[in-house]
Structure 1
Amino acid sequence: MRKVMLLAAVAATLALSGCFSSGTKVSDEQVASLEKGKTTYDQVVAKLGKPQAVTTMSNGGKIAVYMFSKGSANAASYIPIAGAFVGGASGDSRSVTMTFNAAGTLVDYTTAESHVESNHGL
C-alpha cells in the first residue's frame, strides 16, 4: 500500500513538473560485488553512500534500503489545453534491501523494480 501511494505521488508530481530522479541508483554489478558473510555495513556505506532508510532490529542487526526513482511526463502533457485531457506520466523505481547481522556483516539482499503509468482524462 505504501509503495502504491508513493507511486501515485510520483505520477502526480510528474504531471506537474515534467521529469525527475531521486535517490541512490544501485546497479546489478554493484549488488553482485557484495559478498554475503564478508561485506560489512561500513563497506557498503563507503561504496554506495548513506542508504535512504535504515532499520535497527531487536537482535542488533540492521536493514538498509537504497531506493531510486525516475519519471517523466509524456509528450502529450505539453499540448496546451488538450494536455490536461490526453497527457500522462510514467516512472520507474528500483530498491535494494540489505540485511546485516549484529556484527555488521551482510547476511542477504533483495532487489525490486517497478513501473507505473498515469494518464489524465475523463
Structure 2
Amino acid sequence: MKNKFIIALFALVLAACSSTQSGKDFDMEVVKSFKKGQTTQEDVRTAIGDPTGMDDMANGDVVWTYEYYENKSSGLSYVPVAGVYAGGSKGEQKFVTIKFDAKGVMNGLSMREVNSGSSHF
C-alpha cells in the first residue's frame, strides 16, 4: 500500500510540471545576421515569420516587433515544503524590434534575449 502511495505521489509530481509560452519562437542567431541597408521585410518574414506587432510611423517607416516568452516550472515546485528546497524554474525571453524605411529595407535593429532560472539542486 505504501508503494502505491509513493508511485501515485511521484506521478502527481511529474504531471504538475508546467510550461507557459507566449509568441512564436525564433532564432536569435538568424536575427543577428540581418544587415542594415540590405535586409528587406520579405527577408525577415521568410527567416523568422510574421511579426508580433507592426507600427506605421509618420515619416513612412514601418516598425516590426517580435516577442517570445517561455517559462517552465519543475513539478517539485508544487509539492508542499519539498518544493521550497527542490523546485525550480527556467525562463527565456526574446525581444526584437526592426525598423524599415518606406522601401521596405531595414534601417534599424534592436534585440534583447534574457535567460533566467532557479534551481534548488
Equivalent pair of 1:26/1:96 in contact (CA under 8 Å): no
1:54 alignment counterpart? 54
Unmatched segments (≥5 aa) in structure 1: 1-15
* TM-score of the aligned structures, taking structure 2 as reference length: 0.67
Give the aligned CA root-mean-square deviation in angstroms: 2.6
Give the conservation status (yes or no) of the 8 Å contact 1:25–1:66.
no
Cα distance change of structure 1 residues 91 and 50 upon mapping to structure 2, 3 Å threshold: same
The alpha-carbon deviation at position 90 of structure 1 amounts to 4.2
SS of the residue 2:64 aligns to = strand
Does the 8 Å contact 2:25/2:68 carry over to 1? yes
Q: What is the TM-score with the length of structure 1 in the denominator?
A: 0.66
The structure-2 alpha-carbon separation of the partners of 1:48 and 1:115, relative to structure 1 and needing over 3 Å to count, comes to closer
Q: Which runs of 5+ in 2 are unaligned?
A: 1-15
8 Å CA contact retained: 2:23, 2:52: yes
How many residues are paired up? 101
CA distance in 1, matches of 2:26, 2:96: 7
State how far apart, in whole Å, the 1-side matches of 2:48 and 2:116 are. Answer: 26
Compare CA radii of gyration and give the structure with the larger one: 2
Structure-to-structure mapping, 1:25-104, within 5 angstroms = 25-79=25-79, 81-82=80-81, 86=84, 89-104=89-104
Q: Residue 44 of structure 2: SS of its match in structure 1?
A: helix
Distance 2:52 2:18 in 1: 24
Match of 2:11 in 1: none
- Alpha-carbon deviation of 1:91? 2.1
CA contact (8 A) 1:93 1:115 kept: yes
Mapped partners of 1:73, 1:94: distance in 2: 18
| Aligned mates of 1:112, 1:29 — CA distance in 2 | 12
CA contact 2:72–2:90 (8 Å) conserved in 1: yes
User: Could you tell me whether the CA contact under 8 Å between 2:18 and 2:75 is conserved in 1?
Assistant: no
CA contact (8 A) 1:71 1:89 kept: yes
**Residue 50 of structure 1: how far off its partner (Å):** 0.7
